[in-house]
Every structure is written in C-alpha cells, then in structure tokens.
Structure 1
Amino acid sequence: MTNFLQPPRLRIGEEDSAEERRATWLELFYDLVFVVAVSQVAHNLKEDISLSGLLGFVVLFIPIWWSWIGTTFYANRFDGDDVIHRLLVGVQMLTAAGMAVNIHHGLGESSSGFALAYALGRAVLVVEYVRAGVHIPLARPLTTRYAIGFAIASLIWLSSAFLPVPWRFALWGVGIVIDFGTPLTARKHQIGLLPHASHLPERFGLFTIIVLGEAIIAVVNGVSEQKWQVLTVISAIFGLMIAFSWWWVYFDNLGGTPIETARTQGKVGTVNIWLYTHLPLVIGIAATGVGVEEILVSQPTIALADPQRWLICGSVALCSLAVGILHRYGVIRYCKIRSMYRLSAVVVLLAIAFFGKGLLPVAVIALVALVSAVQVIQDVYQSRPNNRLADPEI
C-alpha cells in the first residue's frame, strides 16, 4: 500500500547503486503512452518519406524522446511511490498522450496543441524537481539547476503555441536547445548524483524495445496489406532478421559501463555521450521499421524507388553509426574491433543506397539484412572464450 505523502528519496547512493534495481510497474505503465506516440510519429513518416517528411519525423520525435528521458532520469534518481508522485506521473502520461494526439498534423494545424502538451509535461517535471530539492538538501544544487533550465524551456514552448508559423518552430528550436543543454551545464553537480548503474540501462533498453517493436509491426502490416507472394514473404523474413540482428547487437553489449566509469574516474561526459547518442540510435530504429514496411508494400517485381531504398539503408546505417560510437567511447562494451565493424557497415549500407538503383525490393532488404547479420556473426565469433583471452579490447 502506498504511503499518502511519502517524500521522494535519493535512490543513487553508493549502497543503492551497488544493488540490482528494476523498472517499477508505474514506469512500465508510463511507457505504454510512448508506444502510441512512437507509432504515431512513424505513421507520419509512412505518409511522406521525402526529405521534408524525414525532417518532420525527426522534429517531432525529439521532444517525444526527451519527454521520456526527463521522467526516466528523475525516477532513476528520486524514485518515490506516494500518491503525489503517482498523480504527477499520471499528468505526464496525459501530456504524452496529448502529444501523440497532435502528432498527425504536428507541424501543421496541430502544432500549437503539440507544443502545449510538451510544455505542460516539462512543467510537471519542474514541479517534481522542486519537490525533490525541498526534501533532499544534498540534491538541491542539481534539482535547482534542472528546475530553472527546464522551466525556461517550458515557457518558451508555451509561448510558441501563440505565435504563427514559422516563428513557432523557431521557438521550438530554442526551447529544445535549452532542454538538451541544461544537463550539460550541471555536470559538476552530477558527479555525486550519478544515475543508478543497473536501472538506467534497463530503462534505455525498454525504450529501444519500443522502437524495435515498430519493425515487427511493420512486417505484420506490410504482409497483411499485400497478396501472399513468395517475394513478399521472403522480404518479411529479411525484415525480421534486421530487427533481430540489431536487438542482438544492442542488448548483447548493453550494461552500466558509462555510469561505472563516471563513478570511478569522475568522467561525467561518458554518461552524456551515452545519453545523447541514443537519440540517433532510436531515430534510426524507428525509421527502419517504416523502411521495412515500405519495401513490403512495394511491387515485388519492380525496382525499388530511390526514396524507399535510401530510407531503409540510411536508417540502418544511422543505427550502426550510433552503436559504433557507443563502442568506441566505451559507453557500451568498449571494443575497437566492434566499433570498426559497425562503422564499416555504415559505408557498405550507404554504398547499397548509392549504387543499388534498379534492384528489386527483396534484393535491397536482403543486402541490408546480410550486413546486419554480419554484425551478429562477428560479435558471436569474438565472444568465444579463446578470442576473449587473445584480445584485451573485448
């Protein structure tokens, strides 16, 4: 039974960080709203896979992801389970749902509603940080910095709802820069309040699962919209192979390495690299799902159109680039060899996009699946006991 007015408590002391900690039922329930939001923004990209459509997808995806990040980092540091905390999370779920409702025309007639929903979500986060600062003096320098930065960003987003386009979007840009920059300005306050080493990687993994789910949905939707043809079924299998490969690559290398590094060596920057590099990663995964569906609904005996080819190849290349960066800077399993394979995959995928004009849809998705599968094969080979002993960089 939850305590009615139990104040938030610090959850990241040395003793707490050494213990295994799992996502709460409330956090998992909160994630459900973002399943819908990610699905809606992916639907927007399906309707327009041009360069402008891709830009719109990214513009709307960033505040959705950052909303989830804000609540997740707060709960990681100051988790509580009193009635007030549950109600505040409930309001945040409503704001996320409001963003999802306004995504379909999020850069048009619904852009003011999207901005208002995002601004309200950030305002609730500010209330949470102020509350944490009141009850936890040790965390007050950090909570004050976060509350001020996020409050300024929230006011800018709120103001944008009452301005015409394109000034509205100009304020969005200013607001998101302040939102992203606020944690960077509080680095000296973060070192004693680092995230929980087991809980935060799990939460990031759960959001990655959400966007990977879009690839599975894409396969189901793509096959259901087409007559059952051999080439379509083969393409669907390759689509599942792409999703499975990148699930394998990501989760086989996931861990609390950046947090542990920051704690032992005082390198807060590794946590920030880990945080911000996940943005292109999840954008790439979500766009990959759209790319797979576009291939499955294409005519299987006609060469794949340029936008669809660039979408699938570019999206997977972005995933590979992000994972390569995470490897190289040691914010997931540090390994120069794995990083080299990921970056080499980027080059190969872009080459397929550039030189693959005239290829059938099944050929394009087969090549992308092959490149993805090679990453898994390399990791499995390198993880063999004799190879781990021979290579100190694993």
Structure 2
Amino acid sequence: MVTPAHSTEERRASWTELFFDLVAVAGIGQLTHLLHRGPSLREFGLYVVLYLAFWVVWACVTVYSNVAGEQARTTMVFGCMFGLCVMMAAVGGAPDEHMNVFAAIYLLVRVASSMAWRRGQIVVDWPIAQIGAGTVPWLVSLWVPAPWKFVLWAVGLAIDLWIMFAVDSERMMVDAERKVRARLRRGPGRKSREVTPPKLQALRADAPHLGERLGQYLIIVLGEGVISVIAAISVEEWTLSVCVIGAGAFLCLIAMWALTLRFGFVPRLMGEAGESVGLPYQRVMAVHCAISGAIATVAGGLGLVAAHPSGHLPVGLGWVLGGGLAAFFLVCGLGGVRSAGARWLLRWPVPCLAVALVLGWAAPHIGGMWLVLGVMVTLAAAVVSETSRTTEGR
C-alpha cells in the first residue's frame, strides 16, 4: 500500500486549474437566474439540486487535478470544463427544457472523472470519485418525466453526500485489498497457491493546494455576488434606497469574505502544516459544499433585492436572503466549533442565525432597504465579535 509523496515545494494553482475555476462564474450566474423567475419553494428546491450537481462535478475534477498534480491530463480537465458549460447552458431551460441534456452530461463527466484513475489506485480522500452508486438514479431519470426526474436527482446526490460521510478511507483500502485477494483466489489453477498480497496505491490530497482551490472557489462565488448586485443596480434609478441597498450589499459580501477566508472557517479546516485538523477530507469538502452554497444563495438574494429596491418584497425572496444567511451562520458554527469550542457558538453563530430567520420572516413587511441593512448589521456584528475574540486570543 503506497501513498505518493507530494513535493516539498509549495504547489500553486496552475493556469489550467484557474481557467477551469472560471466556469464557476458562469455556473453561479446561471443558477441565480432560477431565483429571479420567482423564488417559489419548487424553484428554490430545483436551485439547490442543480447547485449540488454543479458542485459535485466541480469537486471531482478539482480533486483529480489536486491528487494527480503534474500528471493531470489537460484534455481531461478541459473536456469536463466543456461538460460543465453545457450543463450550465441547459439550466437556462429549467425546469421544462434541456433537463435530459443536463443529466446526460452530468453522467458523462462523472464517468470520465472516475476513469481517470488507473487500476489499483484508490482515492481515499474522495470516495465518490470511484464509488458511482449516486449516478444510478441520474441514469434512470433519463426515462422519467418531471417532477420525478428531479426527485431522482436529489436521491442520487443524497447517496453521494452519504458516501462522503460514511465511507472510511482506511476501510476503503482494506476492502479493496480483500476484493483483489478474492479475485486472485478465484483465478484458474490458483486454488492451491499462496496468494501474493496485492499492491495498492492510496492516493491522498495535497492539503495546502486543496485549501487554495477551495478558497478560490469561494472568492469566485463572492465575485459573482458583486456582479449580480452591479447588474441589478445599473438598470435602476439611483434613488436613496437603491444606493443604500448597493452599498449595504457590497459590505455584506465583504463581511462574508472575512468570516470565511480572513478568519478561516474553511481554510481553518486545513491545518497550517498542511494537514486537516482532525477531520477527514470528505468532511472538509462537505463543509465547503454547504458554505459555498449558502454564500451563493445570499449573494443571489442580494442581487434579487437590489432588483426590487422599493415596494413589497415577495415572501420567497425574503427567505432566499434570510434563509441563505441562516444556513451560512449554521455552517460557520458547525465548521468552527471543533477549534473554537461549543461555548463560542453562543458568541455569534447562534444569535446571528436567529436574527437571520427573523429577517427572512419579516422581509415582506420591512422592504428591501431595511432587509439589506439588517443583513449587513448582522454580518458586521459577527465580524466584530470574531475580530475581538481573535485579538483576545493573542
């Protein structure tokens, strides 16, 4: 059982990886359009499913390029990048058109990324790279009409997320070795022979490089939020409420940047020495999925509110922003409790989560300007609290 050693020289994201990450800009922008149509419960559920599918494919390719390093095939990365572009183009027809194209490309990219690994290589830090049980419902969905098609997609993604948490990396190696031994014993003329233990290759992630890629993805999601707000503000008459919403939304995005990257609720999971802080990489990736989805939802909600600067806000729109913010604080709390302690949750994650839910409920009654100001103050309070805690810790 061999684990390839990474170079002692610090790796940086390659030009190929940076170019691939740009697909996230187009992807988040397309998904946000689903909410612009009128964020009903059905639309929001579809948004969550499509985002998870998009993130899983992005993560499969990201882990491949991280583990393979200089051996990563550029044609493989660009092929999957093209597939993601087609998937995002298909989102424009959701939920009625092009959904089979979306599912088919999702399957192709998942299969291609799993076939990139040679026989005997076990990607212990990303089990769904080689365990494709979650793709079966997607395959079946090609012959199933909506809305059951989307239910099957959700089931497939739930299976993948369960595998991320449930599969132990060391157990993967033991099971793989046992299966190889069993195949050798069943071979013709080998019943009386002593079987040589198989040599398997355990492939592990390069933690500093993976942390950089995860952080870059979050920056791209935040950048898409800036683009969304600018696009909404640019077509409105610049009244006082529009200016307040624009400035407040910008400060909200800065506050989320500080809470996720400055104080490190995702990079903190990757230790300073390049090792995860007592967490399996599967859980690190799951936290990243959740927090990036929450940020994308808040960023999209800010753009939606900027497009409704005055008048009555739809109930669904308020819950997109308030609910997304509550999810953000929940993930921040769960991600930081291991290092900061359970008592720290009462410092700002839990109170801010409660305020976010109240803002989501009150949104139709207080209007867009006061909603954005409420979100801004809540995020600012979290940043101030975390800044003071960090200062006290020094």
Q: Same fold (TM over 0.5)?
A: yes
| Residue pairs, 1:169-180, within 5 angstroms | 169-180=150-161
Matched, 1:362 2:369: yes
Q: Distance in 2 between matches of 1:339 and 1:202?
A: 30
Shift of the alpha carbon at 1:373? 0.8
Q: Are the equivalent residues in 2 in contact too, given 1:304–1:360 (CA < 8 A)?
A: yes
Partner of 1:158: 139
| Residue pairs, 1:1-394, within 5 angstroms | 13=5, 16=7, 19-81=9-71, 85-129=73-117, 131=118, 134=119, 139-140=121-122, 142=124, 146=128, 148-150=130-132, 152-183=133-164, 184-188=166-170, 193-254=203-264, 257-260=268-271, 267-269=278-280, 271-300=281-310, 302-330=311-339, 336-337=343-344, 340-355=347-362, 357-384=364-391, 387-389=392-394
TM-score relative to the length of structure 2: 0.82
Higher relative contact order (Cα pairs below 8 Å, separated by 6+ residues): 2
Q: Unaligned regions of 5+ residues in structure 2, if any?
A: 174-201
**CA pair 166-215 structure 1, distance change in 2 beyond 3 A:** closer
Q: Are the equivalent residues in 2 in contact too, given 1:120–1:154 (CA < 8 A)?
A: no
Q: Are the equivalent residues in 1 in contact too, given 2:31–2:50 (CA < 8 A)?
A: yes
Q: Are the equivalent residues in 2 in contact too, given 1:60–1:106 (CA < 8 A)?
A: no
Shift of the alpha carbon at 1:298? 1.6
Q: Are the equivalent residues in 2 in contact too, given 1:235–1:362 (CA < 8 A)?
A: yes
Q: Distance in 2 between matches of 1:264 and 1:224?
A: 44
**CA pair 182-313 structure 1, distance change in 2 beyond 3 A:** closer
Give the match's secondary structure for 1:308: helix
Shift of the alpha carbon at 1:328? 0.8
**CA pair 223-277 structure 1, distance change in 2 beyond 3 A:** same
**CA pair 79-159 structure 1, distance change in 2 beyond 3 A:** farther
Q: Distance in 2 between matches of 1:263 and 1:208?
A: 19
**CA pair 309-169 structure 1, distance change in 2 beyond 3 A:** closer
Give the match's secondary structure for 1:171: helix
Which residue type is aligned with residue 307 of structure 1? G
Which residue type is aligned with residue 255 of structure 2? S
**Greater Rg, structure 1 or structure 2?**
2
Give the match's secondary structure for 2:232: helix
Which residue type is aligned with residue 223 of structure 1? I
Q: Are the equivalent residues in 1 in contact too, given 2:123–2:204 (CA < 8 A)?
A: no
Shift of the alpha carbon at 1:140? 3.8
Partner of 1:392: none
**CA pair 163-67 structure 1, distance change in 2 beyond 3 A:** same
Q: Are the equivalent residues in 1 in contact too, given 2:83–2:106 (CA < 8 A)?
A: yes
Q: Deviations over 1:163-216 (max 9, x none)?
A: 333443343234323333444324225796542221111111111112112220
Q: Distance in 1 between matches of 2:149 and 2:312?
A: 40
Q: Deviations over 1:82-111 (max 9, x none)?
A: 6xx111112111111111111122332211
Task: Report percent identity of matched pairs.
Answer: 23
Shift of the alpha carbon at 1:154? 3.8
Q: Deviations over 1:313-364 (max 9, x none)?
A: 211121111111100133xx76852674122100111122334552132111
- Cα RMSD of the aligned pairs, angstroms, is 3.0
Which residue type is aligned with residue 343 of structure 1? V
Q: Are the equivalent residues in 1 in contact too, given 2:125–2:282 (CA < 8 A)?
A: no
Q: Distance in 2 between matches of 1:218 and 1:266?
A: 35
Shift of the alpha carbon at 1:142? 4.3
Q: Are the equivalent residues in 1 in contact too, given 2:211–2:270 (CA < 8 A)?
A: no
Q: Are the equivalent residues in 2 in contact too, given 1:324–1:339 (CA < 8 A)?
A: no
Which residue type is aligned with residue 188 of structure 1? E
**CA pair 264-76 structure 1, distance change in 2 beyond 3 A:** closer
Q: Distance in 1 between matches of 2:251 and 2:102?
A: 35
TM-score relative to the length of structure 1: 0.82
Shift of the alpha carbon at 1:62? 0.6
Q: Are the equivalent residues in 1 in contact too, given 2:356–2:375 (CA < 8 A)?
A: yes
**CA pair 357-47 structure 1, distance change in 2 beyond 3 A:** closer
**CA pair 262-66 structure 1, distance change in 2 beyond 3 A:** farther
Shift of the alpha carbon at 1:30? 0.8
Which deviates more, 272-281 or 258-267? 258-267
Q: Are the equivalent residues in 1 in contact too, given 2:242–2:369 (CA < 8 A)?
A: yes
Q: Distance in 2 between matches of 1:40 and 1:388?
A: 42
Q: Unaligned regions of 5+ residues in structure 1, if any?
A: 1-9, 390-394
